[in-house]
A and B are shown apart, each in its own frame.
Chain A
């Protein structure tokens, strides 16, 4: 079973700055089957990215994803006020179980 480790735990940044979030897998994630979600307080997670670098419907292009194998990155090019939230990575595929990372909180500095 793949374990996903996200870093840092918390990222303190100002609006307009660039955010770089990391997700490391305990073993290779086949075919880059890696998704990212955003969660705001009191809300369910929202799908941002899938296949490591493909944006989900309606996600602005300031969000981008990259990586392969065991190391993946979510980048927010210029933080908007609505981007301050918690971000989770998740590996997916056809065979369960599927794990989530523990999350990175992006907070206003």
Chain B
């Protein structure tokens, strides 16, 4: 049974860095048949795919154009988790953030497992 457990602060000040972690159980962050994603949801932007990391003999990552210059996703193999770092946040980054697992091949972007979501508010 694959489960994703998210953790991180619910309030971040403008211009600071938003950091969230997704702990994986029942699978491995280094799996060759999985991809580990961050997706956010807000009333103004709906569901928005932000980025992913995955391992296929080496680590890869991809990011949405809207956040590419500000975002990084880092895997932690020792703790079997991955983290989102989004810097220079503004109130427009206020959203519920989800981590989600995709598969491999054509299923890489079918999100079968999701974390519980964390509402992150950007406010001073």
Residues in chain B within 8 A of chain A (CB atoms): 46-49, 52, 62, 64-65, 98, 100, 105-112, 114-117
Contact = CB atoms under 8 A, between A and B. Distances in A.
A104 to B, nearest CB: 12
Nearest to A46: B114
Q: Which 7 A-B pairs have the closest CB atoms?
A: A44-B114, A100-B47, A92-B109, A98-B109, A96-B62, A102-B46, A98-B49
Contacts of B64: 96-97
A94 B108 contact: yes
B99 to A, nearest CB: 9
Nearest to B106: A94
Nearest to A1: B65
A43 B114 CA distance: 10
A45 B98 CA distance: 10
15 contacts: A31-B106, A44-B98, A44-B115, A45-B111, A45-B114, A47-B110, A92-B110, A93-B109, A94-B108, A96-B49, A96-B62, A96-B64, A97-B65, A99-B49, A100-B46
Interface residues of A, number: 24
Contacts of A93: 106, 109
Nearest to A93: B109
Contact of A47 (B48, B49, B52, B111): B111
A104 B84 CA distance: 29
Contacts of A97: 49, 64-65
A103 B43 CA distance: 11
A94 B117 contact: no
A50 interface: yes
A96 B109 contact: yes
